Structure 1
Amino acid sequence: MFTTEFLITSLVVVLIPGTGVVFAVSTGLAQGRRASLFASLGCTLGIVPHLLATALGLAAVMHTSALAFQLLKYAGVVYLLYLAFATWRDRSAFTVQPVQARGGALGLVAKAFFLSILNPKLTIFFLAFLPQFVQPDTGSPLLQLLGLSGVFMVMTFGVFVLYGLLAHAFRKSVIESPRIQAWLRRGFATAFAGLGTQLALSER
């Protein structure tokens, strides 16, 4: 079940920069190492609803229902464009802001969670990707699916944390340069807008 092919493919998929990676990196730069951990946790938890949809067969319904896919897709587009707008308009300086307050930590986790849950491509990914590695004659397909998904989620969390920590490592040079901060904000805003546009124009 946990073949080398599965592990390598999953790692490649997780390493490819997407909305979660951009959010983890921007959070690591803007709010520090601890904040990036909460952002990574939220992005990882956002995988759970997609996993459940796949396991319960709802993904198959969404895969064949153009309306269901379009509704979820455009909800994701709106959220990404909102993040792009908010990031572009933000003029506050990057400062060291350890996430200590309960509300702050939960807010980051919730924001990252909704970022992942509003990505219909994740459900389609689970529907198309995970079943290829399930071996019906070696045990319960559902348990295998859950196991494969668990490994994928651990990989996701680990890689996102690494991205966030790398971003945190560059904080000092970023914090000391308002000009770099401005360009980074524009870059992150453009990335969110680009991802939203790509999602809006994507087919199934």
Structure 2
Amino acid sequence: MSWEFLLTTFIVVASPGTGAIYTLAAGLSGGAKASLVAACGCTLGIVPHMVAAISGVAALFHTSDMAFQALKFAGVAYLLFMAWSMLRAKGALGIDQDGAMLDARQVIGKAILINLLNPKLSIFFLAFLPQFVGADEPAPIARMLLLSLVFMAMTFAVFATYGVFASTLRRYVLTSLRVQRWMQRSFATAFGLLALQLAATNR
């Protein structure tokens, strides 16, 4: 495993994005357990993109503008839905008055959809992974699978770190409704901006 691959993967994973933001929100609203569930969901959302890249299906999104645009705007719509849901959630940051967090299945389901509906991930895997598979590689599929699993493991580790760190601030957030409302609007705005960014991207 080359250090170039590990470094590039870390930079890509650690860069702020929809998955990282959702995991931070989960940590603040539901604590460490919720953040780990969200990180797991975001990681599982990578699997379809990994399979698509390895099987060559991702090439369809690279060559077919209609397919890419359809998936892209599905992702935009879901991010806008996340922003709207954040604003209208019962209690700030989606915490009920008794402090209970959302059902784990809802958390992991939303996390999976966030990454699943991101067509840039398929293109990323298609363009990124082959660079680290040599032309003389005896088992290129196995090599790409290994690299994908490393990418997923780093995604989970980084996102979980973000979420657990956010969960340490949870008790301070819970003591101030004003801070909760500010965080709620900030995350909603972040999801909205990410939706606009995705809408403006091209292949």
Under a length normalisation based on structure 1, what TM-score does the superposition of the two structures give? 0.94
**Alpha-carbon offset, residue 106 of structure 1:** 2.2
Q: What is the correspondence of 1:68-147 to structure 2 with a 5 Å cutoff?
A: 68-93=67-92, 94=95, 96-97=99-100, 104-147=103-146
Q: Provide the residue aligned with 1:153 in structure 2.
A: 152
Change (3 A) 1:200 1:168: same
Q: Provide the residue aligned with 1:20 in structure 2.
A: 19
CA distance in 1, matches of 2:41, 2:90: 25
Task: Name the aligned partner's letter for residue 13 of structure 1.
Answer: V
CA distance in 1, matches of 2:47, 2:86: 27
**Alpha-carbon offset, residue 98 of structure 1:** 6.1
1:179 aligned to 2:182? no
Task: Name the aligned partner's letter for residue 170 of structure 1.
Answer: L
Q: Provide the residue aligned with 2:40 in structure 1.
A: 41
Task: Name the aligned partner's letter for residue 76 of structure 1.
Answer: G
Deviations 1:17-51 (A, max 9, x none): 10000000001101111011111001000000000
CA distance in 2, matches of 1:146, 1:7: 15
Q: Provide the residue aligned with 2:55 in structure 1.
A: 56
Deviations 1:114-170 (A, max 9, x none): 111000010011011111001131321100000000000000000000000010011
CA distance in 2, matches of 1:138, 1:70: 34
Note the aligned Cα RMSD (angstroms).
Answer: 1.3
Identity in percent: 50
1:169 aligned to 2:172? no
CA distance in 1, matches of 2:192, 2:7: 30
CA distance in 1, matches of 2:145, 2:123: 16
CA distance in 2, matches of 1:183, 1:76: 25
Paired residue secondary structure (2:100) = coil
Contact 2:29–2:101 (CA<8 Å) still a contact in 1?
no
Contact 1:26–1:188 (CA<8 Å) still a contact in 2?
yes
Paired residue secondary structure (2:60) = helix
CA distance in 2, matches of 1:12, 1:6: 10
CA distance in 2, matches of 1:154, 1:71: 29
Q: Which runs of 5+ in 1 are unaligned?
A: none
CA distance in 2, matches of 1:199, 1:107: 23
1:196 aligned to 2:186? no
Deviations 1:67-111 (A, max 9, x none): 000000000000000000110122404464367xxxx22222111
